[in-house]
Amino acid sequence: MQELGHFIGGEHVAATGGRSQDVMQPMDGTVRGKVALGSKDDLRKAVENAKAAQPAWAATNPQRRVRVLMKFLDLVQQEMDSLAELLAREHGKTIPDAKGDIQRGLEVVEVSIGAPHMMKGEFTDGAGPGIDVYSMRQPLGVVAGITPFNFPAMIPLWKIGPAIAAGNAFILKPSERDPGVPMRIAELFVEAGLPKGILNVVNGDKEVVDAILDDPDIKAIGFVGSTPIAQYIYSRATANGKRAQCFGGAKNHMIIMPDADMDQTVDALIGAGYGSAGERCMAVSVAVPVGKETADRLVERLIPRVEGLKVGPSTDASADFGPLVTKQALERVKGYVDLGIKEGAKLVVDGRGFTMQGYEDGYYMGGCLFDNVTSDMRIYKEEIFGPVLSVIRANTYEEALKLPNEHEYGNGVAIFTRDGDAARDFAARVEVGMVGVNVPIPVPIAYYTFGGWKGSAFGDLNQHGPDAFRFYTKTKTVTSRWPSGVKDGAEFVIPTMN
């Protein structure tokens, strides 16, 4: 039984306050260990430690800072197998999928190695007589990240990489459901040479989150999780004068045009709809075939593929997906399937009754497929976050486009077509932050930025890519004048460049 406290100043530290929670193993429903639910005092200890360590780190030249990241990448590669197994056992996803989770995080650390370049300022020589203007980017100081259960390696690394490369100290509050990998990541950074205190992990729930939101020494908060919490964190953090970027839930549509390659489309939908049991913010949860004939062909091909999905324990590398993260999540998703039937949608594949032989206490369900879903149903409007795909039939392209455009969420969207003109029109007019053209999960590569629109994101800068460096640094602009001028006497008119 593992007991996780906090990781502060490069060491494991016991929590105060006495609260803790079980860490489960979703594939068989057993208890793996306990994680501390930290207190305000625990958070304060981490902040003070980070605050003391940060100035020396910021003063370290950026090339030396990023050498720590290079070493970290090596250490993770050496430990990839055991990290992926730990991740799969705590989260429920399969081991190959867990490796993808880690890899997509490492890619942002790789891009963060470009910090010396990303942090360069601008310079104008001779902006006025004897006047030069230049800008520089400086770290904010102590910053924090609050992350969800569904990518316990990738999302913490999306935040830690750019924040520490830019010279900040970072406090991570990972999901209390799968804290093991984030804690190991922090240890590996210290092994890679990161000064103690530059990355502290404080485990916990709302109590620690609220302490982060109110702490005067934390200058910025990067959050990823569900929309109601994203909205709450954004309002409270910004009311307290902090920078905040808060990414929320999703309902991602895939539009299937009559000319789409149907084999490719069905493969894409199966992977994007059911991979990781649908617990991805970029999962496709709504398929929108255009025209009756397209819809009939699509549903006819999807049915046997959904029925044939292989559900298995997280340690079975041949499984398509594993269990859901918790018993409550399983009950919630099954509840949505019950609701869809009541609302009048047609359940053409029912995975609710699935049990995994030998793992009867695990949180499994099979894939579910709904046809004839309509836009007024709750199963369409709300995020289900499980292996449930809804087909909503559109008569025309315009009718299909209207669906993602009018939806509350705007994270990802895709169009499958052979028509370049339709694809261009779609990319230009769709009201969604990340668009795929014949690509079902358009998570941008690490040197672009990631972020949704509408109810999927609060704040104005995206995650990773150049935006991450803007978010975790502040700009200072210097106007300098050499060598004469001041001694000529005071000037009472505002200086201009005329």
Rule CB under 6 A: which residues touch ligand NAD? 146-151, 173, 175-176, 205-206, 209, 224-226, 229, 247-250, 281, 383, 385, 411, 452, 456
Strand bridging mode 453-454 / 409-410: antiparallel
Q: DSSP character for 438?
A: S
Residue 292 beta carbon to ligand NAD: minimum distance, rounded to whole angstroms: 32
Tell me the two tokens of residue 261. 């390659």
Position 129: which residue type?
P
Comparing CB distances to ligand NAD, the nearer of 54 and 147 is: 147
How deeply is 56 buried, as exposed, middle or buried, from its count of CB atoms within 10 A (0-12, 13-18, 19+)?
A: exposed
Angle at 303 between CA 299 and CA 355, to 5 degrees: 145
Comparing CB distances to ligand NAD, the nearer of 283 and 401 is: 283
368 is catalytic: no
Size (the chain), residues: 498
Nearest to 44 by CA among 216, 243, 221: 216
Residue 156 beta carbon to ligand NAD: minimum distance, rounded to whole angstroms: 10
Catalytic choice (140, 169, 281, 325): 281
Nearest to 363 by CA among 313, 425, 435: 313
Name every residue whose Cβ is closer than 8 Å to that of residue 283 and which is 6 or more positions away in sequence: 250, 252, 272, 273, 275, 276, 385, 441
For residue 444, is the peptide bond before it cis, meaning its omega torsion is within 30 degrees of 0? no
Tell me the two tokens of residue 468. 């991450």
Comparing CB distances to ligand NAD, the nearer of 149 and 336 is: 149
Distances in Å between the alpha carbon of 254 and those of 152, 275, 299, 440? Answer: 26, 15, 14, 7
Residue 398 beta carbon to ligand NAD: minimum distance, rounded to whole angstroms: 27
Residue nearest to ligand NAD (CB): 225
Residue 174 beta carbon to ligand NAD: minimum distance, rounded to whole angstroms: 6
Tell me the two tokens of residue 385. 């976050």
Residue 457 beta carbon to ligand NAD: minimum distance, rounded to whole angstroms: 6
Comparing CB distances to ligand NAD, the nearer of 262 and 339 is: 339
Residue 67 beta carbon to ligand NAD: minimum distance, rounded to whole angstroms: 29
461 Rama sector, left if φ>0, alpha if ψ -120 to 50, beta otherwise: beta
Helix segments in 137-289, DSSP class H? 154-165, 180-191, 206-214, 227-239, 262-274
Comparing CB distances to ligand NAD, the nearer of 225 and 386 is: 225
Comparing CB distances to ligand NAD, the nearer of 43 and 295 is: 43
Active site positions, annotated: 281
